[in-house]
Amino acid sequence: MLVTSKAILEASLQAYKKGQPFAIGAYNVNNMEQMQGIMMAAQEKKAPIIAQVSRGALKYAQDKYLINIIKSAAELAPEVPVAIHLDHGNSFETVKRAIDLGCTSVMIDGSLMEDSKTPSTFEYNVKVTSEVVKYAHDRGVTVEGELGTLGGIEDGVGSGQTHLTDPDEAVEFVERTGVDALAISIGTSHGAFKFKGEAKLAYDIIEKIRKLLPDTYLVSHGSSSVPAELVDQINKYGGKLEHAQGVPLEALKKAIAYGINKINVDTDIRLAATAAVRQFLVEHPEKFDPREYLKVSREAIANEIKKRMDAFGTGGHITDVPNWGLEEMKARY
């Protein structure tokens, strides 16, 4: 069932207000096998999902191909609420293209200038985000903005710098732009090398923003856990990943308890797929059929995502998601 991310995130927010918090996993998709693995996990766990597409993914897979793969997956599993979300749109034109293709949710990352590397001014962020909100809401599409910048760079996204979100600025930003969801910087970062020492998140920032913005959906980017067992598996079978470290699941659970509604996961999906394929090809050097090793990668992705769904508490919540598609949201906006 194709819905807006507002519908899915509303279920999370209402659960938080009732003292039973859970978060929605937003999983990045680059190809068919990744989407199939995500849906396999969602069906088994009875969990709603947000399928994210980055600019890099849309370019790699040709945008119509990728969007239609996700649409087909949603049609084949009508019991699972699915939102198609543009991750880190860097301009109004990028967002417009995603909406025209059928995304039910978009992110405009005005925390960076259009070159995706240079941190922007607050006023620039407000301006570009407001333009996107007007265009998207007129079409029933949910909008996520970002305030503060994350460290690390992945898929061409990120500045390599970290600037934690100011709670008072967050209030002004939401009031002036009208965004539905806000990605906040709390110490996470993009990529597989998030921390050099102990992982620390700014829970106090989540707590303050949640109190100041009780009806805004809060998002944590750069939140892959980079499981040590996957890194070890990759290295065992010929890879070379040194000092990779992510956000522990226990830290993410705590962030959910403080009010995070959406958690972005990309690196873990890549690691799971790569580890499975490396092992398969080393153990079966005579194999050359892509269907055989991609099947293994699909299963590995599904298993890893099921662990995230368990940690985030997402399982069993498909019936809590209101049926808010684009036409429904046009009327609400």
The torsion angles phi and psi of 325, rounded to 5 degrees, stand at: -90, -165
Distance between first and last Cα of the chain: 21
Phi-psi region of 308 (alpha: psi -120 to 50; beta: other; left: phi over 0): alpha
Q: Copy the structure tokens of residue 58.
A: 């849309």
Known catalytic membership, residue 87: yes
Of 63, 87, 166, 268, catalytic? 87
**Torsion sign over Cα 223, 185, 108, 130:** positive
Can you name the residues that pair with 154 across neighbouring β-strands? 157
CB 141 within 8 A of CB 133: no
**Torsion sign over Cα 273, 278, 280, 281:** positive
Strand, coil or helix: what is 51? strand
Q: CA-to-CA distance for 12 and 10, rounded, in angstroms?
A: 5
The beta-carbon contacts of 98-102 under 8 Å, at least 24 apart in sequence, are 98/53, 98/58, 98/63, 99/135, 99/136, 99/139, 99/141, 101/63, 101/64, 101/67, 102/67, 102/71
**E strands within the chain?**
24-28, 49-54, 82-89, 105-108, 142-147, 181-184, 217-220, 262-265
Strand, coil or helix: what is 79? coil
CA–CA–CA angle 238, 243, 245 (5° rounding): 110
Catalytic residues: 87
